[in-house]
Structure 1
Amino acid sequence: MPDWPIQKLKSLPPLSLYVHFPWCLKKCPYCDFNSHEIRAEENRVPEEEYVAALIRDLESALQDVWGRRLSSIFLGGGTPSLFSAQAMDQVLTAVRTLLPLEHFAEVTLEANPGTFEAQKFADFRQAGINRLSIGIQSFNPLHLQALGRVHDDQEAHRAVDIALKYFDNINLDLMYALPGQNLEQAQADIETACSHGVTHISAYHLTLEPNTLFYRFPPKLPDDEQAAAMQEMIEQTATSYQYRNYETSAFAQAGKESRHNMNYWLFGDYLGIGAGAHSKISFSDKIVRQMRYKHPKEYLAKAQTGDSLIQTQQELTVADRSFEFMMNALRLSGGFDASLFQERTGLPLVVVQQQLDEAEQRGLLVHDHLRIKPTVLGRRFLNDLLQIFLPEKAPSNNALKLQP
């Protein structure tokens, strides 16, 4: 790729906040996120110490985002719902004190069915959380067992019932192409999710990620043809229930798209605090990525001694900017405004003109001077489409936990 000059950004993109809570009741065998099982001898999360560390983390990050408004907050993990509503209230109060929020900002809490208590979730709502994302994964007890989940199908249904009592904006997180799963079972899962009438559903293809138990000891999974049939069935079923497939794995009722994830897809900025959290922050003359110290003990130790919580920081190159923009924005079914590329990257669209032309010739996307969007074929073979934009040397740090 030629060494194109980077122009200063005329305006900064929207800013989101991601807060990472790294503990779980049990580490799932497919999970490669920064999550850590609560030790039996401890039998608790270090709530007070961790909340103090998060607030210190946010205070130290203010110099990079001073005066910018937050469009969304995502409390993710791990299992954030292991923490008390009082802890979440402390964190959100600190956020509101230090940074202005947009009116009606989306505030999402990630929760797992094994941690649901009615009063606790009423208190979460009172603390200012206005959206829940529930890690159901499946409503089938055998598949939940195969995935190593701590909840069963009855707890999954109960969690949704409790959530619907206190929240009117709810995402259900599902997975498909599970060990031993057939098309009819995958259909039962998506139909059950849709029938609950929640505002948003995420449906992810189970993949075997390095550094997971499933990667070391692979279970027997549906083949590619079966998985593709499941994906197509999920899209058709969700559409029949009036959900719009606005992003590769996301389905929403009208106007209920995840604002937090939309900011990711459109190359917006996000500040990540907490153990192992990633940030992408734009300045007029540069875009930087940061990662906090990953292990909770090291993160807490750094916070208590007053040391910097940032383990790595790098400035995005021309190749990083163009690829990462396309890698995210081409996940959107409706594509993106062509002018947004230069607005968010500081680069003219001609930087990727050759790749755009190749992708269009292969029938993977359509583009003009107004809009760029993947075709049906491009959405089905998204990895092939993104491969076209991959630079000779891929970005060294584009890790991002996609939030449901």
Structure 2
Amino acid sequence: MTAPALTPPPLSLYVHVPWCVRKCPYCDFNSHERRGELPFAQYVDALLADLDHDLPLVWGRTVHTVFFGGGTPSLMPPEQIERFLQGAASRLRFAPGCEITLEANPGTAEHGRFEGYRAAGVNRLSFGIQSFDDGCLQRLGRIHDSREAEAAVKLAQDAGFDNLNLDLMYALPGQTLAMAEHDLERAFALQPAHVSHYQLTLEPNTVFAARPPEHLPDDDAGWDMQERCQTMLAQAGYAQYEVSAYAQPGRRCAHNLNYWRYGDYLGIGAGAHGKLTLGHEQAILRRWKHKHPGKYLQTAGTAEAIGGDDRIEPARRPFEFMLNALRLVDGFTLTQFTRSTGLPAESIASALADAVRRGWLECDGDAVRPTELGRRFTNDVIERFLDEPEPEVPEP
């Protein structure tokens, strides 16, 4: 018997923009507060050099989505976004209708800027609103208020953007159930195509982790907010398709779906992470770039810009796959698992059977999906796939 072949999945491009106006106390992303004028022209040169260096890993493959994340990508002038996209499109094959998302902070919205992004090729915006309550925004350290948030969304809509995501958090310091409901009501009034709705967590190495804010809702209050808000989202026509993602029909985020389906993504920029399936080597590679913008600018396009490479051995692939796929309401198929990991379905049979027995997963032929109970205990379900013995992969 031969080993199943690793089949390269769809490819995305992630571009990290590491600067922001002010670091939020809950943020654990690679973001650095702006100090003076930012070197965006030099940074685009570095991004294209970085891309050139990694191109041999993806020769001949089509890019289906592009995502500018941060930091605050909306600090970057539209002409530099356009220059990068033109350079990238001359090096890579972009799929027709390629989804191109840019994260935007309402506090950096300016008249005319969204028209520029649209002209540059951006066709989806993701706004980091977090809340429409000014008190909550102040306690979160955000630089915008609720008025600016609404104005930014309307500016984008006036510029022709109809594919918009609003990021909202709940269980915020001092927040009540009624306040969480009101946040969603304000969001619905703006008619976004997509809503990301997730609980505030105190991540390690953040200001909030070191000095937790006062008046955080307890677990029961947070659960009440989650259940009530999920009901409101469904009633407003936003179908949940992932743990924290809700979309109107046909408006799921293709870029994030590719992550959750264990797709491939090329990561460029300071601190960017990528995951690539190397078909000719039958290997899965994770690569990340140096986090500090200064060092990245000096070394981009050379091996020195690479912060590390990690080959994902077969024993780790089931857990990695489930870490993503089990966030999806629709789950995955065993055929997809085999193609994405190069492992037979038998390699996860024991953990799968245990999760089904506990009522966490359900199987229907080739399809595997989390139950409502399983979605409540996603981390416990995923951890089951850490316990598997190293899979036996037959020699070809």
With the length of structure 1 as denominator, give the TM-score of the two structures: 0.93
CA contact 2:4–2:339 (8 Å) conserved in 1: no
Alignment gaps of 5+ in structure 2: 391-396
* Number of the residue aligned with 1:259: 254
Q: Displacement, 1:322?
A: 0.9
Partners of 2:300 and 2:193 in 1: CA distance = 38
Per-residue displacement from partner, 1:225-267 (whole Å, max 9, x unpaired)?
1111111111100001111001000000001000000000100
Equivalent residue number for residue 169 of structure 2: 175
Give the drift of 1:195. Answer: 2.3
Instruction: Report the equivalent of 1:401.
Output: none
Which string of whole-angstrom CA distances, capped at 9 and with x for unpartnered residues, describes residues 369-396 of structure 1? Answer: 32000001111121221121224899xx
How many residues end up aligned between the 2 structures? Answer: 386
Structure 1 residue corresponding to 2:265, chosen from 263, 267, 270 = 270
Aligned to 2:288: 291
Letter in 2 for 1:300: L
Paired residues of 2:129 and 2:166 also in contact (CA < 8 A): yes
SS at match of 1:260: helix
- Find runs of 4+ consecutive structure 1 residues off by over 6 angstroms: none
Q: Distance in 2 between matches of 1:390 and 1:139?
A: 40
1:309 positional shift = 1.8
Return the offset for 1:160. Answer: 1.1
**Which residue pairs with 2:54 in the alignment?**
61
Within the alignment, does 1:211 sit opposite 2:208 as a pair? no
Alpha-carbon shift at residue 338 of structure 1 (Å):
2.1
User: Within 1, Cα distance between the matches of 2:283 and 2:333?
Assistant: 22
Whether the 8 Å contact between 2:285 and 2:311 is mirrored in structure 1 is yes
Q: Are 2:99 and 1:106 aligned?
A: yes
Match of 1:351 in 2: 347
Q: Sequence identity of aligned pairs in percent?
A: 49
Render the CA deviation track for 1:288-321: whole Å, top value 9, x for unaligned. Answer: 00010111111111128x4542120011011221
Match among 211, 224, 232 for residue 229 of structure 1:
224
**Corresponding residue number in structure 2 for 1:402:** none
User: Which of 327, 330, 354 matches 1:331?
Assistant: 327
Give the whole-Å Cα distance in 2 for the aligned partners of 1:218 and 1:32: 14
Match of 1:46 among 39, 43, 56: 39
> What is the match of residue 156 of structure 2?
163
Aligned 1:3-402 pairs, distance under 5 A: 7-9=4-6, 11-39=7-35, 43-166=36-159, 167-220=161-214, 221-284=216-279, 285-303=282-300, 306-391=302-387
Once residues 163 and 229 of structure 1 are traced to their aligned partners in structure 2, the CA distance between those partners, rounded to angstroms, is: 33
After superposition, give the CA deviation of every residue in 1:326-358 in whole Å (9 maximum; x if it has no partner): 110011111122210001111011111111111
1:201 counterpart letter in structure 2: V
Q: Which shows bigger deviation, 383-392 or 222-231?
A: 383-392
* Residue of structure 1 in register with 2:394 after alignment: none
TM-score (norm 2): 0.95
Q: Give the whole-Å Cα distance in 2 for the aligned partners of 1:136 and 1:393.
A: 44
Task: Specify the alignment match of 1:399 in structure 2.
Answer: none
Offset, 1:187: 0.6
| Distance in 1, Cα, partners of 2:2 & 2:172 | 46
What is the RMSD computed on CA atoms of the aligned residues? Answer: 1.6
Give 2:165's aligned amino acid. Answer: N
| Cα displacement (A) at 1:218 | 0.5
Is the CA contact (8 Å cut-off) linking 1:22 and 1:275 kept in structure 2?
A: yes
